[in-house]
């Protein structure tokens, strides 16, 4: 049955997340202004809140499906703050790649480590088939050379899954993923990146110089070399397919925070939001607010749609891109618009609105830019291959 | 529990209505627009679908199924995919009947609902929109004043579907500071019905202006009797219905623009292979999806008798903006051909602009 209501259990869960998010919000400004500090793994208030995962137990098929509720949970968390969590979950993007592309032995060996994922290079972003980092086989070792940037959790991770090419002339097929543990000679964390927003997040740049790793660190094992299309490539794209809605949901939570803040401030100033639809005599501020609110609703529903499909084990490649493209645009419009509505107050660092405006900007860039998402959407709609539309 | 899963019945209704739209609407849409006519045979064919009678209780001669705004939204999208003017024509009587079903007294239901359960198409409609530049659905200028045991109504209504033939109109008025809706029979003294209006779009839909010059009505003509009715609720149903129609129109535009763009070549390449066009088509699809989910959310809240004020407002307002944008870009993708009446996109462009300002003609 088509339904957009939350069950009691859903609602309790989201209330819990929001309550926790409010506590996190207290730390938001500090870690934004002190970019060099790392967020602790556990905050003292963590004891006051049982883990969200505890609440997830006991859900039945009458409750909203896991993928859908997870999107609302993500949005609920980032509604508090993008980076601060009362307790930090272990694991990174690389762990998902290990799960998707590693052999069972590899998975067992490294599953306990927090693994980052290093794909982007100074000269290659949206088109990862142009990876320049090389991997050359020398006896029983791979020798890795190259530079990686924008590595999420890169400073704190205990290891990293790195994309490198074994044969530059082979393009995508030559790209494999390798697991490299921190402390391996030739693997240097060059710097922690300084960013517009999500400053508390740990984003690193790596340099690999004649970095030697065992032959067994090729994800998927030696047989992945002979494969026509790389296990690493396909495996990771599959990972991205699942994470596009999640990334969109993270952005959505911040846009909702901005909208809620703006609504409260307008109300205090005596400007109430009405849905009567009066066009004549309605203030421009109310009209604008209503437009922004509708955008957030629209984005949220595209995310829930993509997540719902995955919960039904239905293909959602198109919808994952639709929601990422839509939300990426919406969060920019909404946070920019909220500042417009509140004027100079909106840019004051006494409030979090200016931070949401900065933090949210990444949503339309990482996990595939808005343009890439439109490309995927268009290819799916038009039935075009990469060669026909790029 | 959040779910996008239509029921099996809803899937069947969607498929059946899509087939109907393909076979009975698409082939006649252009001619209906050019001649500003809706064929009797079309109205009779829609009547056989049971769009109005299905949700009327068996006691009044109907199908006795629960009224489902969600199903109605799905149905409206399919019909409007065929043609928006003909969709509004097919659904206009349901707006009247559903309002009576939803908010009428037992006597009103008893008297009026059987009209919609016969073999032949029966017209009755909402009379809500008013002439002039400052129409506000919740601030009607048409006035009801008490007189004796009844009311006197004065004002004017425009864009009233089937003004040429409707047996009854549901006239939304201001009454004692609040709102009310009155059931006005066609032959009421003081009611003058204009010739069929001429509009930019939805040309096939016959609409008229009603002049109400001190129309005297008994107390029993007030929808809901002494308790009156919830006009806001009626407005929510109306907004969600329009959003569904605009979703269907938008989908029609995209489905037409895609094969055109893949076929049309410029500079040795299909124009669809150029990002300038491909991204436009992607955006058109994205916005149509968003429209549909906003519509479904509003319809589902209406179905569950939740407060749908916000969701139906957003659904209509968003769909009005985006449907206009999609239709606009549809014309652009076809270039000069989009401007020629050989293709339907110019009609969709006119219809989109018209639908965007039509609160108060339909209801889910």
Q: ipTM value, please give it.
A: 0.95
How do residues A7-44 score in pLDDT, each as one tens digit? 999 999 999 999 999 999 999 999 999 998 999 989 99
User: Does residue A81 fall inside a structural domain?
Assistant: no
Pairing type for strands B143-147 and B168-175 reads parallel
**Per annotation, catalytic residue among A367, A371, A380, A388:** A367
The 3-state secondary structure of B309-330 reads HHHHHHHHHHHHHHHHHHHHHH
Q: Which phi and psi angles does B338 have, rounded to 5°? A: -65, -20
Residue A235 has pLDDT above 80, yes or no: no
Same structural domain, A217 and A265: no
Task: Show the DSSP H helices in A172-316 as ranges.
Answer: 223-226, 231-268, 284-311
CB neighbours of A367 closer than 8 A, spacing ≥ 6? A240, A243, A244, A247, A324
How many structural domains are present in chain A? 2
Residue B197 has pLDDT above 70, yes or no: yes
CB neighbours of A71 closer than 8 A, spacing ≥ 6? A245, A246, A249, A303, A304, A307
Higher pLDDT pick, B176 / A358: A358
Predicted pLDDT of residue A241:
66
Report how far residue A129's alpha carbon sits from residue B222's, in angstroms, rounded to the nearest whole number: 70
Residue B360 has pLDDT above 80, yes or no: yes
DSSP E strand boundaries for B194-350: 207-217, 265-266, 269-270
Predicted pLDDT of residue B155:
98
Same structural domain, A210 and A259: no
Report how far residue B84's alpha carbon sits from residue B78's, in angstroms, rounded to the nearest whole number: 10
Q: Which of A229, A260, A295 is the last residue of a domain?
A: A229
For position A156, which CATH number holds?
2.40.110.10
Same structural domain, A238 and A369: yes
**What confidence tier does A277 reach under pLDDT thresholds 50, 70, 90?**
low
Same structural domain, A374 and A254: yes
Cβ contacts of B235 on chain A, cutoff 8 Å: 277
Q: What is the mean pLDDT of residues B285-313?
A: 97
Q: Which of A199, A229, A259 is the last residue of a domain?
A: A229
Query: Among positive and negative, which fits the CA dihedral B295, B299, B305, B309?
Result: positive
Q: What is the mean pLDDT of residues B5-14?
A: 97
- Cβ neighbours of B165 (radius 10 Å): 16
Q: What is the mean pLDDT of residues B167-193?
A: 96
**What confidence tier does A69 reach under pLDDT thresholds 50, 70, 90?**
very high
Give Cα separations from B155 to B95, B126, B170, B211, B364 (angstroms). 21, 15, 14, 6, 26
How do residues A280-331 score in pLDDT, each as one tens digit? 888 999 999 999 999 999 999 999 999 999 989 888 999 999 999 999 999 9
Report how far residue B268's alpha carbon sits from residue A207's, in angstroms, rounded to the nearest whole number: 44
Q: Which CATH class is domain B231-355?
A: mainly alpha
Query: Among positive and negative, which fits the CA dihedral A261, A267, A271, A273?
Result: positive
Helix axes B231-263, B345-355, angle to 10 degrees: 160
Predicted pLDDT of residue A229:
47
**What confidence tier does B151 reach under pLDDT thresholds 50, 70, 90?**
very high
Tell me which fold the domain B125-227 belongs to. Butyryl-CoA Dehydrogenase, subunit A; domain 2 (2.40.110)
**What confidence tier does A88 reach under pLDDT thresholds 50, 70, 90?**
confident
Domain ranges of chain B: 8-117, 125-227, 231-355
Smallest Cα–Cα separation from A233: which of A147, A161, A182?
Answer: A161
**Pair B89, B49: CB distance under 8 Å:** no
Characterize A114-141 residue by residue with b for buried, 16 or more Cβ atoms within 10 angstroms of its Cβ, and e for exposed.
bbbbbbbbeebbeebbebebbbeeeeee
Same structural domain, A262 and A363: yes
Going by the DSSP 8-state scheme, the letter that residue A5 receives in this structure is P
The 3-state secondary structure of B142-205 reads CEEEEECCEEEEEEEEEEEECCCCCCEEEEEEEECCEEEEEEEECCCCCEEECCCCCCCCCCCC
Indicate yes or no: CB of B138 within 8 angstroms of CB of A384: no
Q: What is the mean pLDDT of residues B70-93?
A: 98
Higher pLDDT pick, B241 / A56: B241
Same structural domain, A104 and A242: no
Cβ contacts of B137 on chain A, cutoff 8 Å: 277
Give Cα separations from B80 to B39, B143, B237, B352, B355 (angstroms). 17, 33, 17, 11, 11
Predicted pLDDT of residue A238:
55
Residue-level length of chain A: 390
Partner-chain residue, chosen from B272, B279, B301, that has the shortest CB–CB distance to A4 = B301
Same structural domain, A246 and A370: yes
Q: Give the CA radius of gyration of chain B.
A: 20
How do residues B224-233 score in pLDDT, each as one tens digit? 999 999 999 9
How do residues B129-141 score in pLDDT, each as one tens digit? 999 999 999 999 9
The parent domain of residue A302 ranges over: 234-382
Indicate yes or no: CB of B293 within 8 angstroms of CB of A5: no
Same structural domain, A241 and A341: yes
Same structural domain, A125 and A146: yes
Report how far residue B363's alpha carbon sits from residue B67's, in angstroms, rounded to the nearest whole number: 12
Predicted pLDDT of residue A55:
74
Report how far residue B318's alpha carbon sits from residue A330's, in angstroms, rounded to the nearest whole number: 13
Predicted pLDDT of residue A226:
63
For position A280, which CATH number holds?
1.20.140.10
Report how far residue B284's alpha carbon sits from residue A375's, in angstroms, rounded to the nearest whole number: 13
A367 is catalytic: yes
Smallest Cα–Cα separation from A120: which of A162, A76, A92?
Answer: A162
Q: What is the mean pLDDT of residues B43-72?
A: 95
**Pair A72, A7: CB distance under 8 Å:** no
Report how far residue A153's alpha carbon sits from residue A24's, in angstroms, rounded to the nearest whole number: 19
Q: Is A144 helix (H, G, I), strand (E, B) or coil?
A: strand
Same structural domain, A222 and A342: no
Q: What is the mean pLDDT of residues B65-72?
A: 94
Residue B240 has pLDDT above 50, yes or no: yes
Cβ contacts of A325 on chain B, cutoff 8 Å: 282-283, 286
User: Does residue A197 fall inside a structural domain?
Assistant: yes
Same structural domain, A108 and A217: yes
Measured at the CA of A119, the angle between CA A324 and CA A146, to 5 degrees, comes to: 155
Average model confidence (pLDDT) for chain A? 92
Going by the DSSP 8-state scheme, the letter that residue A124 receives in this structure is B
Residue A60 has pLDDT above 90, yes or no: no
Residue A56 has pLDDT above 90, yes or no: no
Nearest CA in chain B to A322: B286
d(CA B239, nearest CA chain A) in Å: 10
Report how far residue A317's alpha carbon sits from residue A302's, in angstroms, rounded to the nearest whole number: 13
Same structural domain, A100 and A167: yes
d(CA B134, nearest CA chain A) in Å: 7
User: Does residue A217 fall inside a structural domain?
Assistant: yes
Cβ contacts of A6 on chain B, cutoff 8 Å: 1-2
Indicate yes or no: CB of B317 within 8 angstroms of CB of A278: no
Smallest Cα–Cα separation from A288: which of A256, A259, A331?
Answer: A259
Report how far residue B130's alpha carbon sits from residue B110's, in angstroms, rounded to the nearest whole number: 29
- Cβ neighbours of B59 (radius 10 Å): 11
Indicate yes or no: CB of A377 within 8 angstroms of CB of B286: yes
Which listed CATH number (1.10.540.10, 3.40.50.150, 1.10.1740.10, 1.25.50.10) goes with B8-117? 1.10.540.10
Q: Which of A229, A247, A280 is the last residue of a domain?
A: A229
Report how far residue B183's alpha carbon sits from residue B175's, in angstroms, rounded to the nearest whole number: 14
């Amino acid at each position: 049955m088509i339904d957009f209501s939350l069950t009691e259990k859903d609602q309790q869960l989201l209330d819990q997340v929001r309550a926790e998010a409010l506590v996190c919000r207290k730390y938001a400004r500090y870690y934004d202004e002190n970019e060099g500090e790392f967020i602790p793994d556990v905050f003292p208030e963590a004891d006051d809140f049982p883990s969200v995962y505890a609440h997830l137990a006991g859900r039945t098929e009458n409750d909203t499906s896991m993928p859908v509720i997870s999107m609302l949970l993500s949005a609920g968390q980032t509604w508090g703050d993008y980076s601060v969590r009362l307790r930090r979950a272990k694991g990174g993007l690389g762990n998902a790649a290990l799960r998707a592309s590693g052999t069972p032995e590899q998975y067992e060996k490294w599953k306990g480590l927090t693994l980052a994922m290093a794909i982007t290079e100074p000269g290659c972003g949206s088109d990862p088939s142009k990876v320049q980092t090389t991997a050359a086989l020398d006896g029983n070792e791979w020798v890795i050379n190259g530079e990686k940037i924008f590595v999420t959790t890169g400073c704190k991770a205990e290891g990293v899954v790195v994309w490198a090419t074994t044969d530059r002339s082979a393009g995508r097929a030559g790209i494999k993923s390798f697991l490299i543990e921190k402390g391996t000679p030739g693997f240097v964390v060059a710097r922690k990146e300084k960013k517009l927003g999500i400053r508390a997040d740990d984003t690193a740049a790596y340099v690999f110089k004649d970095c030697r790793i065992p032959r067994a660190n090729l994800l998927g094992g030696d047989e992945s070399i002979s494969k026509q299309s790389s296990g690493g490539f396909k495996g990771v794209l599959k990972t991205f397919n699942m994470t596009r809605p999640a990334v969109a949901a993270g952005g959505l939570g911040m846009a909702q925070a901005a909208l809620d803040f703006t609504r409260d401030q307008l109300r205090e100033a005596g400007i109430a939001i009405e849905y009567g639809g009066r066009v004549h005599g309605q203030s421009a501020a109310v009209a604008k607010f209503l437009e922004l609110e509708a955008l957030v609703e629209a984005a949220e529903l595209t995310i829930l749609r993509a997540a719902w499909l995955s919960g039904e084990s239905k293909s959602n490649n198109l919808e994952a891109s639709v929601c990422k493209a839509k939300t990426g645009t919406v969060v920019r419009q909404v946070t920019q618009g909220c500042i417009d509505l509140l004027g100079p107050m909106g840019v004051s660092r006494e409030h979090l609105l200016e931070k949401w405006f900065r933090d949210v900007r990444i949503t339309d860039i990482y996990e595939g830019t808005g343009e890439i998402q439109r490309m995927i959407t268009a290819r799916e709609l038009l039935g075009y291959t990469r060669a026909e539309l790029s | 529990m959040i779910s996008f899963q239509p029921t099996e019945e809803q899937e069947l209704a969607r498929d059946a209505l899509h087939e109907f739209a393909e076979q009975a609407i698409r082939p006649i849409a252009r001619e209906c627009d050019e001649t500003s006519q809706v064929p009797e045979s079309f109205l009779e064919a829609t009547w056989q679908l049971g769009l109005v009678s299905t949700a009327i209780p068996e006691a009044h001669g109907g199908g006795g199924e629960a009224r489902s705004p969600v199903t109605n939204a799905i149905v409206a999208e399919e019909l409007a995919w065929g043609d928006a003017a003909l969709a509004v024509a097919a659904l206009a009587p349901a707006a009247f009947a559903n309002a009576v079903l939803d908010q009428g007294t037992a006597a009103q239901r008893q008297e009026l609902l059987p009209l919609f359960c016969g073999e032949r198409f029966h017209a009755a409609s909402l009379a809500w929109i008013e002439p002039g530049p400052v129409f506000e659905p919740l601030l009607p200028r048409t006035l009801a004043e008490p007189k004796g045991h009844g009311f006197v109504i004065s004002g004017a209504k425009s864009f009233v579907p089937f003004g040429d033939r409707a047996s009854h109109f549901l006239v939304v008025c201001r009454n004692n500071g609040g709102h009310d809706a009155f059931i006005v029979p066609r032959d009421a003294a003081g009611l003058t019905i204009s010739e069929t209006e001429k509009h930019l779009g939805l040309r096939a839909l016959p609409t008229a202006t009603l002049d109400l010059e001190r129309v005297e009505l008994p107390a029993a003509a007030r929808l809901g009797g002494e308790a009156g009715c919830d006009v806001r609720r009626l407005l929510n149903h109306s907004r969600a219905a329009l959003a569904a129609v605009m979703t269907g129109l938008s989908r029609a535009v995209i489905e037409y623009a895609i094969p055109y763009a893949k076929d049309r070549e410029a500079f040795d390449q299909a124009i669809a292979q150029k990002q300038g066009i491909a991204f436009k088509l992607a955006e058109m699809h994205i916005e149509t999806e968003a429209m549909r989910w906003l519509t479904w959310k509003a319809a589902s809240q209406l179905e569950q008798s939740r407060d749908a004020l916000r969701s139906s407002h957003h659904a209509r307002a968003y769909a009005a903006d985006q449907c206009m944008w999609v239709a606009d870009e549809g014309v652009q993708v076809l270039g000069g051909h989009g401007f020629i009446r050989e293709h339907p996109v110019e009609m969709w462009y006119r219809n989109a602009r018209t639908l965007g300002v039509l609160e108060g003609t339909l209801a889910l």
